[in-house]
Amino acid sequence: MLPAGGKLEQARKTRDPRFDGRFFIGVRTTGIYCRPVCPVKMPREENVTFFDSAAAASEAGYRPCLRCRPESSPGTPAWRGSSTTVVRALRLINDGALDQGSVARLCDRLGVTPRHLSRLFTNHLGASPKTIAQTRRLQFAKKLIDETSLLMTEIALSSGYGSIRRFNDHFKQTYSRSPSSLRKTRSEPVERVELKIPFREPYDFQSLLEFYRMRAIPGVEKVGVETVGVETVGVETVGVEKAGRENAEESYGRSFVLDGKSGHFSVSRSDNQLVCAVQGGSTSSLMRIMQKVRAMFDVDAVPEEINSVLCEDRILGRLVKKRPGLRLPGAFDEFEIAVRAIVGQQVSVKGATTVMGRIAEQYGDETDYGRVFPGPETLADMDPESLPMPSKRARAIKLLAVAVADGELGFDMDEQAFYEQVIAIPGIGPWTAQYICLRALSNPDSFLHGDLVIRKVAEKILGVRSEKELINRAKAWQPWSGYAGMHLWRASAD
């Protein structure tokens, strides 16, 4: 529960969209919790309570508003908390750790006791891990009910419920009605699912597309006119998607294999939200796909918080004001990004992209929806001499693949332990490890102070003449120094 009055009360009364998803309003007279932008008649100040998250409101006994749909609000960044354990736990919960597993097993993976984890979650999020997981499942299910015509059984499985009975019971307990009673469209089997992903303005979608475009993998990735379907070719596609619309829009798309099933998704922008269209794949992997897309496009970021810190640096602030909606590019396939980081050592972006294309062509699999980049099990068995790169770098890729395939290295590890383990692999230096943390772990404070482009731009724009001086300058940008790095990269491109 958050303190009443002050800035939150002002945001509630003005229905300020900047606060959408950053707190929720419980109305004691109705037992309902809403978003700050809810259009219903405004309750009196003495009848409202503020909550840090939807899960906290749910744990306090409030049920979601059917008018403003809390499940449709922009997400809350996991990195807002100061506890690295909470950040890692949230990442594991988003990956489905509590859909079938227990809190005790989650604690074993984190190396903490259930009591300690519960205390951390209460302090940072106002709700228990179990409530966070349940709210996550229920919100995604409600979203599928409102935005798709999927069968209820498919919705239950997609949302992480083990059975349709558990899904119905949880839904009735929360909404006091059955899931089917809220459906406006008829349930039917579908081949393509479209889901809306809201974000906070400003949002520089075009810069993200340009970043991905420069790294499009030749032979696997395609840039240009794209039609989603079985004719699609490529792991990633950044270009113009024509899906029966008169005015084509630029979009990002890629084929994938999750839970043993291949598929394809594309992401385009429509006003103040992204639209993600998924075709193929497993029903049970739909929520994981959405989580990965959210990370790729950094939709949970809060520009107001980030920019206020970066603009304290007067010179850097000029770059921020030029592109206030700049976001961090994430990763759909963390292992692929780790390989990309190794390939990109001391070569140009174009050169690294060419090599990635050759690796995908030689070791990747062709599916009904396009080619996919090889996984760690495949590259663990490869001959390093077969890769078109220096042997030391090729061996580093093989050692990384072996570590990931054997479970010795995981992208859900504690970041410090992950960094130390990665940098211990022969052929991997600080720049490579930092790049992996920035994109694969989505750490907004990972700053590539050794990057040649960043150092050159920092010298020209900021007047910073050494790497040590740049590191000291970047301390003022914490915890958003990763965004500062993106502004410097972008300044070089501009």
Inform me whether the pLDDT recorded for 245 exceeds 70: no
What's the pLDDT score for residue 247?
46
Check residues 225 and 302 and name the one with the higher pLDDT: 302
Confidence of residue 237 (pLDDT cuts 50, 70, 90): very low
pLDDT digits (tens, 9 = 90+) for 448-464: 999 999 999 999 999 99
Q: Which of 176-185, 341-350, 376-385, 413-422 has the lowest mean pLDDT?
A: 176-185
The CA-atom distances, in angstroms, between 444 and each of 177, 398, 452 are 41, 28, 20
Q: Is 34 a catalytic residue?
A: yes
Tell me the average pLDDT across 462-486. 95
SS (H, E, C) the chain: CECCCHHHHHHHHHCCHHHECCEEEEECCCCEEECCCCCCCCCCHHHEEEECCHHHHHHCCCEECCCCCHHHCCCCCHHHCCCHHHHHHHHHHHCCCCCCCCHHHHHHHHCCCHHHHHHHHHHHHCCCHHHHHHHHHHHHHHHHHHHCCCCHHHHHHHCCCCCHHHHHHHHHHHHCCCHHHHCCCCCCCCCEEEEEEECCCCCCHHHHHHHHHHCCCCCCCECCEECCCCCCCCCEEEEEECCCCCCCEEEEEEEEEECCEEEEEEEEEECCEEEEEEEECCHHHHHHHHHHHHHHCCCCCCHHHHHHHHCCCHHHHHHHHHCCCCCCCCCCCHHHHHHHHHHCCCCCHHHHHHHHHHHHHHHCEEECCEEECCCHHHHHCCCHHHCCCCHHHHHHHHHHHHHHHCCCCCCCCCHHHHHHHHHCCCCCCHHHHHHHHHHCCCCCCCCCCCCHHHHHHHHHHHCCCCHHHHHHHHHHHCCCHHHHHHHHHHHHHC
* The two three-digit tokens of residue 493, written as one number: 């491109």
pLDDT digits (tens, 9 = 90+) for 318-341: 999 999 999 999 999 999 999 999
- All structural domains of the chain, each given as residue ranges with its CATH number in brackets, are 6-54 (3.40.10.10), 78-182 (1.10.10.60), 192-300 (3.30.310.20), 334-493 (1.10.340.30)
pLDDT digits (tens, 9 = 90+) for 71-110: 999 987 766 555 789 989 998 998 889 998 899 999 999 9
Measure the CA–CA gap between 250 and 206, rounded to whole angstroms.
8
Tell me the average pLDDT across 242-248. 44
Q: Where do we find the tokens 């239950």?
A: 156
pLDDT digits (tens, 9 = 90+) for 344-382: 998 999 999 999 999 999 999 999 989 999 999 999 999
Q: Across the chain, which distance is largest between two alpha carbons, in Å?
A: 71
Inform me whether the pLDDT recorded for 240 exceeds 60: no
Cβ atoms within 10 Å, residue 220: 25
pLDDT digits (tens, 9 = 90+) for 206-224: 999 999 988 988 767 765 5
Of 20, 300, 333, 451, which one is the catalytic site residue?
Answer: 451
Measure the CA–CA gap between 1 and 23, rounded to whole angstroms.
10
Of 20, 34, 107, 298, which one is the catalytic site residue?
Answer: 34
pLDDT digits (tens, 9 = 90+) for 114-124: 999 999 999 88
